[in-house]
A and B are shown apart, each in its own frame.
Chain A
Amino acid sequence: MEIRSYTDYLRALDDAALISMFNHRPDLVTPVPPDMASLAVRASSAPSLARAVDALNKWQLQVLEVCAILPEPFSEKDVAALTEKSALFVIPGLIERGLLYTDKDGLRTPTTLKEVLGNEIAGLGPASMSKLKLKKLDEVPAPSKKVLDAMVWGPPRGAIADIKKPSVGVQWLLEEGFLIPFNQQTVVLPREVAIYLRGNTVHRELETSQPSVTGSKRDMRNVQLAAIANITTFLRWTEEVLNFWAQEPATALRSGGLGVRDLKELSLHLGVDESCTAFVAEVAYLSGLLTIDPDDKILPTHQFDIWLTQNASVKWQLLASAWLSTSRVSGLVGKEGSKNVAPLGPELDRSSATTTRRLTLTLLQENSQIAVDIDSLFAAATWLAPAKRAGGLQKDYILWAMREAEWLGITGQGVLSSYGADFLTGGDSTSVDTDLPKAVDHILIQSDNTAIAPGPLEHEVAQELALIADVESRGGATVFRFSEGSIRRGLDHGRTGEEITKFLAKTSKTPMPQPLEYLIADVAKKHGKLRVGNTASFIRCEDSALITQILGDKRLDVLGLRKIAPEVLICGHDATEAMNILRSCGYLPAAEDSRGLLLSGPRIQRAQTKARPPRIIGEFERPDEIQIEGALRALRTGEKSSRKQSTMRNIATEALGSLPRSTANETLELLSDYLQNQPTKSLSIGYADNNGLVSHRIIDPLKLSAGSLVARDHATGEVQTFRIARITGVAAL
């Protein structure tokens, strides 16, 4: 390819065309390139082209493949001849994306595009060097026909025993030029032959339209019900997970993330399988409700406290949005073959995750009346995004996206719910609040020491009950069980037996069973007989008179002494300090080792650091119009100034007659130009060595790849690799 011609083509484009190109390929203006030459280099670079190709649908891709195998320049008619008429409608789109461009002779493709599309595009081999008599193919001898049949749809390479002793069929084909020897054991079917045999077409089937998504009808009422159940459940799970870790924070693995055992424990607590548990934890992590603090403890953040007070719809939206935009794939946890992937760990990022998820949701949106059949959804998705780089579109990702959407309540029974639809179109989700089952403010206490809340409990009542009873079963309703341990917990939190009884009597719709009253009274009676506290130090003396004296000593008021037994004082200062003060007042204390101080009551903990949700990798955000226009302005300005610069430099160079100087883009242009046209003349370059000394080399470029130039150096006569970045300039000799 002549980069120059592609650059010229871009230069000649009007603003509207450039804007539409940037719209399709946002990476071209992120960051804004300095001038048109840079833009051309970027637009024709392999990564950018691959991105652009990824965004094509199957039909566009097929047309592009046909373009790529046609000898350049070609015309629209050539393309249509190998496909069908409707390809003509596709070509403008490809031009718009900069995947095709026009020059005076016709259509061309950027050369790197062929690399991006693969070595053997559509299973076709290289074009034949000689003119072939394709008519002869109509009367192929039987043995040769067999060979051709095997190779016609690719791969175009065939293994044979020995090129010197070919079989009869191969022999004939080689003679006629219908096969080209590649090496000792391989022959290749030339492109023209394959196309001719394929019936003057390239693809077996032209997939001009998206396969339809099929599925079964669902009653929308049930869908809504199922979705609201899913939403309620998901919110509950999230709260459960965070409360669980608030009581007993898990410790992150050294390699990051949650350990298998912790995950199992959590999954047992939630009563759902591990993949679902991992998902709930991940979403909480993504939403900033959960973080891994510097001590590697997995803890809820302050954000969680705020979240708890919010409306269900707001709570849900936060979780759902975090999920929608993340590039992390929690489905990988526990997947066979990826045993070591831990939730909350660093290995969950996948660049195609977001796009695949969006694609899935878009298809769900388009087919919002049916519970889609996963195979048909996959077929449609594959048509829409046929050329994913990393091994194509992952069916697993789609399955997981569907599964996760269901867990989140974006779908119900596999159909997009109205909540999901509102959410995806950016609406608020207040309908969630109105459709959730009404909160109840009462419980039913039964004589087997259980209490049942026959619906979702009001927040305050639920919190209070959680203090004094253990949850036995969750769901639409909650079953609580009172036990000695649970009542004690309530007392530990500062409730008195009377308060508990009063609260239960007020909250319960049924009379309080007598055994429960007794249970509470019994525990309350025993509770607190033993007292435990923290103190910084203690002062002990067998002489209680001395203790009284110390207590009465005005100078020791600073110590804040308190007598807890006739012979024991406790002190708010630590032992060293207390001793110093005592000594300064003329007492003669001796230090004593203290052990066995107990901490009372479980403490709910919060991370002391800010939430650091994991970053999102993946596709570029599409810039808005203002940004694009800004980019374009910058580009046009840069273009003007860079021309001026290079003209100035050339004048200076000529005057000095020193080493060639050119900008990086010019260097590339010149080199590509050289490779394209293979002139007989050699090139002169300036090349910097490791120490920055620039030497002058005369070279014949051979190949340009991955930032390096392979060329024959005249001085040594050897083939050498030159780093492009180190080439200070190029000039033709």
Chain B
Amino acid sequence: MTDGPLIVQSDKTLLLDVDHVLSTECRRAIAPFAELERSPEHIHTYRLTNLGLWNARAAGHDAELVIDTLIKYSRYAVPHSLLVDVAETMSRYGRLRLEADPVHGLILVTTDTGVLEEVIRAKKIAPLLGVRIDKETIAVHPSQRGQIKQSLLRLGWPAEDFAGYVDGQAHDIALKQDGWKIRQYQEHAAEGFWHGGSGVVVLPCGAGKTIVGAAAMAHAKATTLILVTNTIAARQWREELLKRTTLLDEEIGEYSGAKKEIRPVTIATYQVMTKKKNGVYAHLDLFDTHDWGLIIYDEVHLLPAPIFRFTADIQSRRRLGLTATLVREDGMEGEVFSLIGPKRFDVPWKEIEAQGYIAPAECIEVRVNLTEAERLSYATAEPEERYRFCATTRTKRNVVEELVAHHAGEQVLVIGQYIDQLDDLSETLGVPLIKGDTPQKERERLYAAFRTGEVTCLVVSKVANFSVDLPEATIAIQVSGAFGSRQEEAQRLGRILRPKADGRGAKFYSVVSRDTIDQDFAQNRQRFLAEQGYSYRIIDADDVFQGKF
């Protein structure tokens, strides 16, 4: 028994004691092969997954190194079976290779004919293959490169992809570091991505994911397609790129509902890409008709299904996914990894906070009591109406009013799900509202006014969940949400995480009805942030009215 910081569990989770002197060193050592699962205050949880181990192999780490690291830092004896399993899993990688071939285009080569025989007999694989060239080689339809990689992964025989990436049409892009400097973690992230070829970078909201994208473009020096969630985000990307890179205004195009520009760097919205015209996706060929050297997926956790399918077909292009919260309530995280690429960079939110790149935030859950009458009608409400009912109770309005009054002079966002409730709040508070049918121009005007401080309080619907850059917002009040969505909660907190000029901390209020389903959903919503080390404080609505918080 040593006194290491790591406890290796038999279910392949690794528990890292962050208060241990060796914890930083250990974190660095295990990061290449273990995936960070949770990072609360004291003990961080990593997990050894097949995918993670194979990625480590792809990055040039062998099983011996993994095993040595585990043994070196482990506090207790490492279960032998786990070590054997690690070695076995890692040895599965690389028995199959995808290679480019001058005659057949793409071929699958093996060093172990048994494995090849096994996989070509698999039902899912057979239709993707072409002619058998010799005992160790078989042709693959080049368009099925993504499909076959995905299917092989599921079979447990991951193929090492040597077929490389197309360079795309060259276009000179460089970072323009005048008056600012790329942060170390951003550089690591961009480099991690570049060496891996394709993959996902996970960074907290407000930690500057756009810069990572820009740095990746500077590595690629090629035409780039950027996919973003909405037009606002597209404009923000554009501004950021103009500011941070050598790109000029006319080199950046916007491809959205309003404009259809195709330039060396084109920013398209998911919405336009998935728009159907006469039953077909009219714009999806944007992917194909141009020789992109890099495709960036912003907020990759929102990737819509048609783009999923299409992404499988463009495996020869470099892909970068950016996100803060790779949790999907539909459990499709795995698909993201296999189509875009594995996680290349992930860092606990609290660590970035400690470095001062995101604002420290305090999360407060305000519990509101329903009135007797409300309780009764809640109890008798139809099950599908229940959440809506308790999330929009009138008692919440009073609390919000009080909170806004308390934070007068600070930049406040009130965020909610239900438009009626938001309309009502906007009216009561006398502040503007941004919702789905607010025109684009009006939205931009309001955001701009908010940034300059002309408007200090905004009521927003879920349109502001993502990619809206409001640097000076310090207070967010959430009144209702999309049920138990963990990533929505995190994204909303993300709106106020940009470091403030005066170093002030941010405050995130979540107003919840006590003893209702609202409270249950809130608990689920908070899980992601709790796992990132954000500790919620619970206060009572009465405390708010008495100013005791």
Contact = CB atoms under 8 A, between A and B. Distances in A.
Given A229-B80, A475-B79, A446 B15 contact: no
B75 interface: yes
Given A225-B77, A226-B80, A412-B80, A447 B10 contact: no
A473 interface: yes
B41 A447 contact: yes
B42 A437 contact: no
Interface string A434-473: 0001000000101111101011000000000000000001
B535 interface: yes
Contacts of B1: 225, 437
A229 B76 contact: yes
B489 interface: no
Contact of B43 (A230, A437, A454): A454
B42 A476 contact: no
A515 B538 contact: yes
A449 B533 CA distance: 11
Residue among A271, A448, A513 with max Cβ neighbours from chain B (10 Å): A448
Interface in A179-235: 222, 225-226, 228-230, 232-233
Contact of A513 (B13, B15, B71, B535): B535
Q: How many of chain B's residues touch chain A, expressed as a range?
A: 35 or more
Contacts of A574: none
Interface in A385-434: 406, 412-413
Main secondary structure, interface of B, reads: mixed
Interface in B411-428: none
A458 B190 CA distance: 47
B7 A413 contact: no
Interface string A510-532: 10011100110010001000000
B9 A473 contact: yes
B536 A452 contact: no
B78 A477 contact: no
Nearest to B530: A448
Nearest to A412: B80
A230 B80 CA distance: 8
A271 B11 CA distance: 7
B45 to A, nearest CB: 7
A479 interface: yes
Contact of A444 (B42, B515, B523, B538): B42
Nearest to B44: A446
B297 interface: no
A146 interface: no
B321 to A, nearest CB: 25
B7 A454 contact: yes
A448 B40 contact: yes
Nearest to B75: A476
A474 interface: yes
B531 interface: yes
Contacts, number: 109
Given A233-B10, A473-B13, A477-B9, A452 B79 contact: no
B45 A233 contact: no
A37 to B, nearest CB: 57
A470 to B, nearest CB: 14
B472 interface: no
A33 B75 CA distance: 62
B11 A515 contact: no
A402 B376 CA distance: 66
Nearest to B38: A448
A476 B7 contact: yes
Contacts of B527: 448
A198 B181 CA distance: 88
A452 B42 contact: yes
Contacts of B441: none
A404 to B, nearest CB: 13
Contacts of A222: 71
Nearest to A236: B10
Interface in B20-70: 38, 40-43, 45
A537 B534 CA distance: 54
- Secondary structure type dominating chain A contacts: mixed
B79 A514 contact: no
Contacts of B10: 233, 271-272, 474-475
Nearest to A515: B536
B531 A448 contact: yes
Contact of A515 (B17, B43, B365): B365
Nearest to A525: B515
Contacts of B477: none
Given A448-B530, A452-B43, A479-B13, A437 B76 contact: yes
Nearest to A526: B515
Contact of A474 (B11, B38, B533): B11
Interface centre among A272, A406, A412, A513 (most CB of B within 10 A): A513
A447 B536 contact: yes
Interface string B502-533: 00000000000001000100010011001101
B76 A476 contact: yes
Nearest to A227: B77
A447 B531 CA distance: 8
B75 A522 contact: no
B76 A455 contact: yes
B8 interface: yes
A452 B76 contact: no
Nearest to A509: B42
B11 A447 contact: no
Given A447-B533, A473-B13, A515-B365, A510 B41 contact: yes
Contacts of B43: 444, 446, 452, 454
A41 B263 CA distance: 103
Contacts of B538: 514-515, 518
A447 B365 contact: no
A226 B70 CA distance: 13
Contacts of A510: 41-42
A475 B7 contact: yes
Given A437-B1, A449-B530, A518-B538, A477 B77 contact: no
Nearest to A231: B77
A226 B67 CA distance: 13
A45 B75 CA distance: 61
B271 to A, nearest CB: 34
Given A412-B80, A446-B42, A454-B43, A477 B7 contact: yes
B277 interface: no
Contacts of A444: 42-43
Nearest to B527: A448
A512 to B, nearest CB: 11
Contacts of A476: 7-9, 74-77
A222 B2 CA distance: 12
B121 interface: no
Contacts of A513: 535
Contacts of B17: 454
B53 to A, nearest CB: 18
Contacts of B9: 473-477, 479
A477 B15 contact: yes
Contacts of A515: 365, 523, 526, 530, 535-536, 538
29 contacts: A225-B77, A228-B77, A233-B79, A271-B11, A412-B80, A413-B80, A446-B40, A448-B40, A449-B530, A452-B42, A452-B43, A454-B17, A455-B7, A455-B75, A475-B7, A475-B13, A476-B7, A476-B9, A477-B7, A477-B15, A479-B45, A510-B41, A510-B42, A514-B535, A514-B538, A515-B526, A515-B538, A519-B523, A522-B519
Interface of B: 1, 7-11, 13, 15, 17, 38, 40-43, 45, 71, 74-81, 365, 515, 519, 523, 526-527, 530-531, 533-538
Given A446-B43, A476-B75, A477-B76, 9 more contacts: A229-B77, A272-B81, A447-B41, A447-B535, A450-B38, A473-B15, A476-B8, A476-B76, A514-B537
Q: Which 7 A-B pairs have the closest CB atoms?
A: A475-B9, A229-B77, A476-B76, A447-B535, A448-B530, A225-B77, A446-B40
